[in-house]
Each structure stands twice: as C-alpha cells, then as structure tokens.
A and B are shown apart, each in its own frame.
Chain A
Amino acid sequence: MLLQRRPKEEVVSIKLSLTVNGKAVTADVDPRTLLVEFLRNNLALTGTHVGCDTGQCGACTVHLDGRAVKSCNMLAAQANGASVLTIEGVAKPDGTMHPMQAAFKECHGLQCGFCTPGMVMSAIDLVQKHPEADEKTIREGLEGNFCRCTGYHNIVRAVQLGATGMGK
C-alpha cells in the first residue's frame, strides 16, 4: 500500500482558471495537485479537510458547479473553468450563517468539528436534491461522510432543521 507508488512523473505546471467562492482565481500548479491541495495550500482555504485521501470519509466535500464532490478525489486541473464553493463561502458576506450551519449549531450536530465542513456541504446538497427528505433518506444521503463523534443522531436532526430553514 505505502510502497506502491507511481514512478516519478516529469514536473510541468498547468495553468488553471476557475471561480472559488464567487471570486475568479488563476494559478499555475503541478499537474498532480489535487483539488483539495489547491484549495488548502494555494488559496489557504483550510476549512476543507483531508480525512482519508481515498474518497471515503467526505471531510473534503465541496460543491463543484453546485454538486457535492470529494475534493481529495479529483485533480485541481479537473476543476478548470468550474465554480467551486467551499465551507468558507457558505455563510453570507456579513457573517450570517446559512440555515444549515445554524441548524448544526442549534442541534449540536458537531463535536470536534473536523468532519463538519464536509458534512455541511453534503447536507446542503442533499436538501437541495431532496427538500422533503425523511430520516432514512438523510441517513442514506450522508453515507459518504464519516463522523466519529456524534453518532449521527444530532446530525440527522440538524439536516431536518436545516431543510426547514432552507425551504423558507
């Protein structure tokens, strides 16, 4: 697992141009740069976390053109021309929390806070697709996001409350 690595590729840079949290961004990056690395290292948007680097845990979830994606599972180059929304861009510019963020606080849907940005990004996407989601749909919809702290109980409540808030 640790030993099987690709032979070293020749380093060339790739020019990227995309929108992140509503702002135009251009950069030259190593072609093997992952989207999550680009967000964290190049743009200092450290709210997007790396929990497993294999697309399993969901801590790195962001929205790409309005759809939840795992940013550790795609190259930055694949986001060229796209619009990316990270957790830093979810609240209003004046700091007012998005209804889903407010619901997570109200329902104690977070503890250590590490999975939380990815969880919120997935939850918003889930409610956008299923505004009337019941508990079963919510639990199935959050299958791609691990939380080791909350036991999901309060996350489910938060998504239900967040859905109500988003519907208003």
Chain B
Amino acid sequence: MGATDQGVIGQSVRRKEDLRFLTGAGQFTDDVNALRQTCGYFLRSPHAHARIRRIDLSKAKAAPGVVAIFTGDDLTGVNGLPCGWLITGTDGKPMNEPPHPVLAQGKVRHVGDQVALVIAETLHEAKDAAELINVDYETLPAVVNCVDALKPGAPQIHEQAPGNKCYTWALGDKAAVDAAFAKAATVSKLDIINNRLIPNAIEPRAALASYNRADESYTLYVSNQNPHVERLLMTAFVLGLPESKVRVIAPDVGGGFGSKIYLYAEETALVWASKKVNRPIKWAADRSEAFLTDAHGRDHVTHVELAVDKDGKFLALRVHTTANMGAYLSTFATCIPTILYATLLAGQYTTPAIFCEVTASFTNTAPVDAYRGAGRPEATFVVERIVHQAAVDTGIAQDEIRRRNFIRTFPYATPVALTYDIGNYDATLDDAMKVADVAGFPARKADAAKRGMLRGLGYASYIEACGLAPSNVAGALGARAGLFEAGQVRVNPTGSVTVFTGSHSHGQGHETTFAQIVAGRLGIDIAHVEVVHGDTGRIPFGMGTYGSRSLSVGGTAIVKALDKVIAKGRKIAAHLLETAETDIEFKDGKFTVAGTDRSKAFAEVSLAAYVPHNYPLDKLEPGLDETAFYDPTNFTYPAGTHICEVEVDPETGVVKVVNFTASDDFGNIINPMIVAGQVHGGLTQGIGQALLENCVYDNDSGQLLTGSYMDYAMPRADDVPSFNVSTQVTPCTHNPLGAKGCGEAGAIGAPAAMMNAVHDALAPVGVKRIDMPASPHRVWQAIQSARA
C-alpha cells in the first residue's frame, strides 16, 4: 500500500448502501416501472424433451388484455444465445455448440424451456392468455444424468452434438502420471458425485425492456451481475444492434452467486419484443421459473486416484470427470469444468504430475454454469477428499499429510498451467487448528461417544484462482471476451468524487469498499465519495462481478485512475504553488511543497481544474476526471484451511455442524467486516451443498422434483452454527492493493471440510462413502448397511 493511504482503509466501515435497503428504498428491477408498461409472461415447456408439432395461438390472442404473443417462428433475424468460451477437445476439434434459441424452435429440451412470450396489460391477463395457448407436443424420451447421456442408445438432444457430447478435454501429462502411479507405495481411490445445485438468489430474475421510437434506442433494466457483458452479447451476437443504441441498467440486484452473470433468453426476447409492441415490457420470474430456468451449478461425476510414496509424499493425481452442461450451453458453461476446475487440482500441494480428463455432455435439464466458486469447489472437493482418504490409507494424520506436501517456494508453477505468486499454507493451517482447538478434539469426541453420538473432524486446505483474469491467458484458453476491468474517478469541482466502476455490487458492498479506497488514497472524507455501478449509460465499460474479481481487478482499475488524478493534481498544484512538479508531495489530502508548510488542499486543486483562471492551459487540459482500464498479469490465489466438526446421531442420521473454523488468506483487506460477511455467506452455501441442497430430476420423465422450497432444502438460520473466521495475510504480488478476493472461499472450502468430517465421524462404524448432501436418510441408511 502506498504512502498516501489513510486510516479508513482496513477499517470495518459500516456500509453506505444499508440505509436504502433497511428502509425499503432499494430499487430492484421489479420495483422499477415505466409509463404504458405491459406485462410479459413466458409459456414454458411442461416436457423435458418434445417436438413441437403445432402451436395454436388463436384463442389466446383474442383473450382480454392481450397485446401480442410471440413464438420462435416470429424471431426471424434473431440469432441464438452465444457461449462465451470455446473449448477445444483432445481430438483437436472445437466443442459441439448447438443452437440455443431465444424461444423454442421446433423442439423443447428441458422442462421450463421457453415456448412463447405473452404480452398483456396485466400479469393476470398474460397468465390467463397463456393458458389458452394450445401446444401440440410429440414427447420424446429424456435423459437427465450426465453419464447416462453419453451411453449408446441415449435419447439424442441436439443434431449438432452426436452422442450428446459437448467435448472431451484434458490437461496435464498422462504419461508422467502413469509412470508415477507405477512406483506408488499407496494408491488411494474415490468415486465422487458433486451434487447439482440451484443458486437461489432470493431476488428472482427480472427485466424491464423499453424501446424509444424517436431515437431507435432500447433501455433494459435487468437483474444481472455484468450489464456491459449482457449488452455486448445481446447486441453483437443475438440481435445485431449497435451497442450505442442499447442501455443496460442492473440496479439493485438481490444476490447473484453466478446465476445472474449470463445473457438469458427472457431479457433478450423482451428487448426484441419491446420494439414490436412499442411499449415497455416487464417480466419477473416467479420462484418456480427460477428453479426451472436459472442456470444451475456443479453436477459432476468423478473418479480420482492419488499415488503416494512411502513417506506420504504425493506422486501423482489422476482425475476423470463427467460434467453436465444441461440442455444448452449457458454463457460460461464450458469453461467451468475445464479451465476453472482442472487447473486447480494441484491444490496447495507439490504433486509433481497431474492428469485430468473431462467429458461434458448435454442432458434434458436446465443449463449448468458458474455457481459461487464455479469449478473451484469441485476441484477442492476432489483434492481434499482424496487427501483425506490418503491420510486414512497411509495412517498419517490429516494435518501432517497436508504439511508434508505443502508448496513453500513461490512463485510456484503447477503441473496444471497456473503459477501461484504467493501464499503461506502453514500459517492458515496452524491458525485454523488453533482456533478450532484441534488439540481438544479427542476429549470432545469421547464426551460425544458417552452421549451415543459420533463426532468427526474434517479439513479442507483449499486454493482458488481468482481475480479473473489475464485476458491474453484467457484468450489462449478459449475465452471469447476480455477480462479486464474499467474504473473512472471523476473529481467534481469542489472536491467530492464520483467513481464509476465496471464491477457490479449485488451484496458485496462495493459502494463502501471502493469508497474506502478512494477516500484513503485521496485523503478525503468517505462521505464525499459516491460509487456508481451497473449502468452502461454512465460507466465507461465493465466486465462485471464474478470469480472474486471486483477488488483485485475492479479495485485496481480505480487505483490506476486515482494515480492519474493524483499525477495531474500534482501538476496543477505545482503551477499554483509556483514550484517544480517534482517538489510536490501528495499526502493527507494536501499537495505540499516538500520540506515547507506551503500547500494546496485537494479541493483547491480540483476547483482550479474546473475554474482554470490560474492554470497552465498551455500544458494541461482543464478538468480532473480520469479513466483506467486494468488487465491483471496473473490470477490471484486466495487459500486457506477450513476445519469442520460434526456430530452425527447414529439413531436418526442427523448431522449437526457443531463447530466451523475458517482461516483464510485473502491478501490485504480493505474492510474486515465485509470480508467476514462474505465468508459467512460462502460457508453457509458450502454447508448447504454438503448437508441439505440437492437438485433432483426424475430419471424417466425429466421433471424437476426439487422445484420449490418445499422440496429443495435451503439452509435456514437454525441449520448452521455461528462461525469462527480469521485471516492471515500474504499480499498479492501483482496488484497495487495486494488483494486476492474473498467472495467464493467459503463455498469452496466448506463442502470438503464438512464431508471429511462426516466421513471421519462415520469411519468407526464402517461407513466408507456418503455422497452430498449428507441428509439424515442417507446417513442413517449408510450406517444400517455398514452394520449389516
């Protein structure tokens, strides 16, 4: 951190955004209304797989209040939704990339696939009219499991994807891995299912699209994490409009967790239709639609093997994974089980040889894409479950086997394409063990046993690649977009500052954290800093919020813009103070002539920039408004150890999390309160995956069986404990904030720590395998089977 930083950086400043949310003054998309607004409603497929023989709209079009009804046949000149990441297979060919129509064309491929858009004066009228649409379906056999989909004879979902295969892709040195396995003292093996999840942001997706005939422009309010990317994909790839004619606003957004990164069919159809009907159209998903159509997460089936030598050193890791893409490729679907998964399989360890092969398949289910952690929780689960198993198989203690294999020399190039810049894995393991009182565990276990309970302890020493991403690296790996971030710092004439960031805040507290950075660096009151995000009409550009990138990439763009502001301010101050620029120091909000008490306050300099009566106009433009684009040179590598302690009631199978400790290294921290909050939320989603949540489709019919909160078990307040969270700091070496990112760590570490604890608790009764979620039914059955 630089010399100009003030006390506000590193403090738990209470959030600037809270007042509006606490008083009901937030403006979420569904809270925004337009004059002459109509209501949109999507008729969706009730079948997992069917041909559409005929759609009869005659009765529906005559229903009261109906403005228009559109089906796939009407969308002439509209392309399908694009996939943003091209994966090249082991056969050297590009992945199979079947069309993803905005409204179904000839066929539906999952329950909830959108068939028609009904636009009416009121929502009730739109729904009533939708009931009068007669769709003649020829139902087809469906397949929902990603492994079944690849079997001979499976129902074929797309003509363009023979055998339902999207790609087979691999990373690492297979020959070196095979050779290492031949010399192993111990080989540990596991079969793993990473259960499918439904993100469930509490604000369902929503959109409001308007067309202005006077200037042929569109305005879209949408619940989305990256409005510029939404605009880019929608205009350039689907609708063929100039970006200058489309303004996308993502106002207050009620959680995303990945599910609102993507360009979805609904808002695309609305924008297109708003011109046709020449009226604004509002659509807000109900929860059933959210379950059926939000991009889901995870859904991997994996076999993993770890070769270990006689001293407990890892020799090689071999991983085969099948990943479910769902019925269509969502925006970033293809990079999740490849680029964001296989590259993380070194974990925190020096494993010298790693090979991972991934096959991605199409199924008759909702598209699958990034969900909090996105590939990295899956990788951590594979690595930390097999490390746990290796400790069991070799008889080495869980902490000891990790220590014997930790990377301690940085930078460290892994065998799976990443170079870790910095870390201290001993520090987070030591810290977590201390906070979790691992030393006292045997006594607690003995006490639990007296009460008839099984107590277990589980570790996860995770790593993640965040701060997405160096654009040239991403491009070489198949990304079809850049991954930089933009920031603009506009100093207003009397010294207040408006910051425009391409990062989007939907709970992360950027309006506070970014203001702390600006206030700290400029030495001004944080109350005089406003952060603007989520509007393509106001912000230069942006790649949005995902992959724990906002602070390390978006925050750095702001720092780069601040550097320009200070550099220009120094020139202005030198003129005002009649000295050389090199003599000017900027500190505590003042430009001072070094070694003197002669100075100009920041606001005096900004005023001179906008009222340039005494100003070096021959050398310098007026104004104080700077923009920076920042493209990172590497990923960041947050890492840590999570330790989970569970108690299992063998009579009921109920697993209770009695203690959860997270020690994380996120690099430098701007606001510890916000960071802890991010960890708490991530941990709860991770515990949710391990203990409660599971997306289930019926194997035969393809119907979503967990399509409501009565069926899909979300973590409630009494399902989780209070958490012990702490941080260790090794500052990131390649961004000026030294920040690594904290948004996903909880969801990445928790499932593995939790399931290792469950397996530890159940080992004495002979249970070898429990898949997530460790529901009472599953645990009880496993105990009964082991006893039998």
**Interface residues in chain A, defined as those with a beta carbon under 8 Å from any beta carbon in chain B:** 1-3, 5, 8, 30, 32, 40, 45-54, 56-57, 59, 86-88, 90-91, 97, 101, 104-106, 108, 110-117, 120, 135-136, 138-140, 142-143, 145-156
Contacts and interface: CB of A to CB of B under 8 A. Distances in A.
A3 B710 contact: no
Given A47-B23, A87-B23, A91-B23, A156 B722 contact: yes
Q: Which of B22, B127, B508 has the most CB of A within 10 A?
A: B22
A104 B718 contact: no
Contact of B202 (A115, A120, A142): A115
Interface of A (DSSP majority class): loop
A102 B304 CA distance: 50
B20 interface: yes
Contacts of B674: 108
Contact of A53 (B15, B287, B677, B717): B287
Given A54-B710, A106-B14, A151 B718 contact: no
Q: Which of B127, B254, B708 has the most CB of A within 10 A?
A: B254
B507 A52 contact: no
B720 A114 contact: no
A146 B46 CA distance: 28
B287 A30 contact: no
B563 to A, nearest CB: 30
Interface in B171-226: 200-204
Interface string B739-767: 00000001000000000000000000000
Interface in B714-730: 714-718, 720, 722-723
B23 A49 contact: no
A149 B203 contact: no
A105 B14 contact: yes
B395 interface: no
A112 B15 contact: no
Contacts of B720: 151-153
A111 B509 contact: yes
A91 B289 CA distance: 34
Q: Which of A1, A146, A153, A156 has the most CB of B within 10 A?
A: A153
B680 A104 contact: no
B671 to A, nearest CB: 9
B550 interface: no
A84 to B, nearest CB: 13
A105 B202 contact: no
Contacts of A50: 30, 204, 284, 286
B690 to A, nearest CB: 14
Interface stretch (B141-149, B347-355, B433-441, B681-689): B681-689
A2 B673 CA distance: 42
Interface string B131-143: 1000000000000
B21 A45 contact: no
Interface in B19-51: 19-28, 30-31, 44, 46
A55 B204 CA distance: 15
Interface string B693-716: 000000000000001111000111
Contact of B508 (A86, A91, A110, A111): A111
B369 interface: no
A88 B24 contact: yes
Contact of A112 (B289, B506, B682, B723): B506
B479 interface: no
